[in-house]
Structures are given as C-alpha cells and as structure tokens.
Amino acid sequence: MGIVKALEMDGLDCRVLFKQLGLDYAALSDPDARFAQDSMTRLWQRAVELSGNPAIGLNMGKVVRPASFHVAGYALMSSNTLAEGFMRLVRYQRIIAESADLSFRLLPEGYALILTVHGDHLPPTRQSAEASLASALALCGWLTGRTLQPRKVMLQGDQPADLAPYKQAFHAPMEFNAPYDALIFEQADMDAPLPTANEAMALLHDRFAGEYLARFSESRVTHKARQVLCRLLPQGEPKREVVAQTLHLSQRTLQRRLQEEGTSFQTLLDDTRRELAEQYLAQPSMTLLEIAYLLGFADPSNFFRAFRRWFDVTPGEYRVRLLQASTVSGAKTPECTEQTR
C-alpha cells in the first residue's frame, strides 16, 4: 500500500484514481498480485496531472518500510551489512516487481545500486525510477538508524525546475540526463555492520524468499505469457508456438499450465487485447486504426467486431464515454482533493 500513501500525501483519492484507470484497488492487499508496468505508467501520469507535482514519486521515500518489500525486505533487514542486504534485494527483486531490474556492483567511485525500469508499450515515467531510488535510500536510513548520504544520485530524466524535493529526498549531488538511474554509495557505508543484523534470521528469510520466488515463478505462467503477448501484438496476432518458445516451454506444457491457472491461450489473448484496447482508447492522440494494428489485427474490421463483442459498443462510442467520464471526474477533483487533505 506504499504507493497509496505516497499519492495520498498530495491529496489524491486513490480509490477514485484506480477506478478511473480501470485498476483493481483490492489487489493492493494481495502480495501475489502484480500490475503491468503500463498500468503503473498511466497511474503516475494521472497522479502528476491531478497533483501538479512532477516530483510526486519521491513521496515513496517517506512511507517505505522493510515490510513494503515483503520477505525480501526482511531478508535485507537481517543482513550483516547494506552491501550484503542489497545483494539479497537484487536476488529477490522479482518478488517486489517484475517490470524492473536491479544490479549492485562496486565501481571505482563507490558501490552502485542501478535500476532499470522496463515499459511494455508506454515508456516508463521518471516517477517510477525516482520512487524506487527514494525508497531504497529511505530503507538504508531505516536500517542504519541514520540519514545516509550517497556520493551521487543519477537520474535519466531532465533536470527539473524545482530541485528542492530532490535535495530533501536524497541529500546528495544530483546528475540528471544520466545514462542510467542509480544511487552511488560510499564503500564504508555499505560495509558498516547493520544494527538489525541477525544471521540466523537472514538464513531463514533466505529460505522463505527462495521458496516464494520459486512458487511465484512457477505459478505465474499467465502473467508471463501476457507480457509476451503485449510485446508481440504490434507485430501481428501472436502464435501459440512463438509464445511457448519465448517462455522456453512446449506448446503442450504452455496450454496445460494455462489451464491449471484457469485460462487458455485464446482466452488470454482475447483478454489482453481487451485490456490494452481500453488503455489505448484512453489516449486521445491514438487513432482507431493505430490501435487496431497495435492489437495485432491485420484487418481493422476484425478489431471493430471484437470490440463490439467485448463492450457492446463501437470503439468510437466507448472513447466518447471515456472522455465524458474524465470531464465529469475532472470537475469533481478539487472537491475530492479537499476532502482528503
């Protein structure tokens, strides 16, 4: 629920916001639930629009706790040093999020925690990376009991007009338009003993995290197949054999695993197209023809037929309803904001 607290700090009503974007608010309380990166991108974009605060991602650093990272956070907390803890965080990162990669390495200028956020179709927002780095640094402070000052913070985004929130969040020199997003730490800070260290607990949490990761990886073929479909759809309708090959599975195994999870390849393809169609129609700049091709329909008429089957209206009529709903909710936003402050 960390992101909810972070957005509410700027007066946003997250239940309303999630509903507007077609996201399942209840899924936030399910540790196994995952949101597609494009959904998070739209969430951050809308949050910036409503709050007027492009640095809203930094709020994550004010609300994070080890529990925010599930069992991976506890494994980090019981590590001997932050260096050891961050290596654990890299190892178990998939438990926290599947749309980002972490690496932790010793460079000539110090230890570097490097973050890469992967978008599906939409490029990820700077808020995603800034929220993650602010969270990581805040976690360092929580574990060490003191304000940790990185040697440098590297962000791929442009330098913002207002640097004050960044200085407050990071307490360090900032490098914008950087080649990657990263925190650079002093080696001594990373190698200092942690007051929360507990080797026996660390081994126990390692076991739990390893079991969770294995279970999660094995049981979420639907999620992985959906990600592959999202990448392949703009190239035309994906074939089951291509998706299976990408996941290093036989077609028969893919179909069996999907059935075990209560779906089938054709149902998953249909559901993925429907969800993406809703997202794309919310982008006024995208034409219906572009959307049809992005969803893998060689013939736009097939897209129109499928859409009417999904929603019982045409794509054009659906977009008009979306715009009307957005206008109404936009008019109510100041009132909602006032109530949540």
Residue 256 or residue 113, greater confidence: 113
Q: Is there a single domain that holds both residue 199 and residue 76?
A: yes
Report which of 211, 222, 215, 200 is spatially closest to residue 267, judged by C-alpha positions: 222
Q: Are 120 and 231 in contact (CB under 8 A)?
A: yes
CATH of the domain at 242: 1.10.10.60
Q: Is there a single domain that holds both residue 260 and residue 188?
A: no
| Residue after which a domain boundary falls, among 179, 195, 215 | 215
Q: Is there a single domain that holds both residue 209 and residue 291?
A: no
Q: Is there a single domain that holds both residue 242 and residue 115?
A: no
**Residue range of the domain that includes 160:** 58-215
| Residue after which a domain boundary falls, among 148, 180, 215 | 215
Q: How many domains does the chain have?
A: 2
Position 332 confidence tier, pLDDT thresholds 50, 70, 90? very low
Tens digit of each residue's pLDDT (9 = 90 or more) over 283-318: 888 899 999 999 999 999 999 999 999 989 999 998
Residue 98 has pLDDT above 60, yes or no: yes
Q: Is there a single domain that holds both residue 201 and residue 326?
A: no
Cα gap 226→243, rounded to integer Å: 9
Q: Is there a single domain that holds both residue 165 and residue 244?
A: no
Task: With respect to residue 66, please indicate whether it lies within any of the assigned structural domains.
Answer: yes
| Residue after which a domain boundary falls, among 165, 183, 215 | 215
Task: With respect to residue 46, please indicate whether it lies within any of the assigned structural domains.
Answer: no
Q: Is there a single domain that holds both residue 143 and residue 206?
A: yes
Q: Is there a single domain that holds both residue 142 and residue 178?
A: yes
Q: Is there a single domain that holds both residue 181 and residue 272?
A: no
Q: Considering the entire predicted model, what is its pTM?
A: 0.66
Q: Is there a single domain that holds both residue 199 and residue 232?
A: no
Residue 189 makes CB contacts below 8 A (sequence gap 6+) with: 82, 140, 144, 148
Residue 320 has pLDDT above 50, yes or no: yes
Average pLDDT taken over every residue of the chain = 87
Cα gap 129→124, rounded to integer Å: 8
Task: Give the mean model confidence (pLDDT) for residues 52-57.
Answer: 97
Cα gap 227→100, rounded to integer Å: 13
Tens digit of each residue's pLDDT (9 = 90 or more) over 214-248: 766 655 788 889 889 998 999 999 999 999 988 87
Task: With respect to residue 43, please indicate whether it lies within any of the assigned structural domains.
Answer: no
Residue 282 or residue 272, greater confidence: 272
Q: Is there a single domain that holds both residue 124 and residue 153?
A: yes
Task: Give the mean model confidence (pLDDT) for residues 22-50.
Answer: 85
